Chains A and B, each alone.
Chain A
Amino acid sequence: RKEVEQDPGPFNVPEGATVAFNCTYSNSASQSFFWYRQDCRKEPKLLMSVYSSGNEDGRFTAQLNRASQYISLLIRDSKLSDSATYLCVVNMGYQKVTFGIGTKLQVIP
C-alpha cells in the first residue's frame, strides 16, 4: 500500500461547481497534513495546512479524519484558475514529508 494515495483524475468540472478530492495515508502516526497546488510546468506551492479537524480559506476547505486516515479538499464555486494538480502531502515526523501523486483538476467554461 502506498504511503499517500490519491485519485489522479482528471476531474473535469464546470465553472461554479463544487469539487472534492480525497487522500488516504497509511501511517497512523502521521503528524500533519497539507495540500499543495502544482500548475503545469511549475513547482508545487503550499495551498493549505490541515492540523487538527480541518480548516477553511475562502472557497477552499480541508478536512482531516484521523480515524479513517484520510484528508479531503473541497473547492466551492470553481474558477478556471483553479485548474491545476492538487498534491496531498503528509508529514510523518522527523522533517520528512511524503507526496501523493496528485489529483488533476480541469475547470471547464
Chain B
Amino acid sequence: SAVISQKPSRDICQRGTSLTIQCQVDSQVTMMFWYRQQPGQSLTLIATANQGSEATYESGFVIDKFPISRPNLTFSTLTVSNMSPEDSSIYLCSVDSGRAKFQETQYFGPGTRLLVL
C-alpha cells in the first residue's frame, strides 16, 4: 500500500482564518480524495482530486470554501477557508488502491485534526 503523509497533523485556528493541509504520497497515483470526519461520525467525502483537472466536489461542499490543488501525481492540498467552529473536524486524504476495476478501495493518510475557536 502507498505511504501517505499529511501536514499539519493538528492545528488550532481562529475563526475567519484559513488553513491549508498538505498530502504527500510516496508513489504516483491518479486519484486523491479528501474526507472529513466529524466527532462521532463516519467519513464524508469532500472532493476528488485528479491531476491536471479541477476537483470534483460532493453535494454540500463548494470550491470557495474548500479549494483544492493537485499540481502533480504525488501531492495535493486542501484549504479550509474562512473557518468557523463547525469546521472543527479531522480531515483525511486518501488515494486509490490501484486494484482492478470495481475492486478499488482507498488508503488513508494519518489525518489532520483541526480545532476552530
| Of the residues B1, B31, B105, B110, contact of A42 by C-beta under 8 Å | B110
Chain B contacts with A in 67-117, Cβ cutoff 8 A: 92, 96-97, 102-111, 113
- Shortest Cβ gap from A43 to chain B (Å): 4
Closest-CB distance, A95 to chain B (whole angstroms):
5
Rounded to whole Å, the gap between the CB of A45 and the closest CB of chain B is 7
A-B contact count (CB 8 A): 48
B48 contact set on A, CB distance < 8 A: 95
Asked if B105 and A46 make an inter-chain contact with CB atoms under 8 angstroms apart, the answer reads yes
Q: How many interface residues does B have (CB within 8 Å)?
A: 21
Q: Is A91 an interface residue (CB 8 A)?
A: yes
Within 8 A of A (CB), among B33-63: 41-43, 45, 48
Interface size on A, residues (CB 8 A): 22
Contacts beyond the supplied A32-B102, A43-B108: 14 A-B pairs with Cβ under 8 Å: A43-B92, A45-B108, A46-B105, A49-B103, A49-B105, A51-B103, A87-B43, A91-B102, A91-B105, A95-B48, A96-B45, A97-B105, A101-B41, A101-B42
Q: List 14 A-B contacts (CB under 8 A).
A: A42-B110, A43-B109, A44-B108, A46-B97, A49-B105, A87-B42, A89-B105, A91-B105, A95-B31, A97-B106, A99-B42, A100-B42, A101-B41, A101-B42
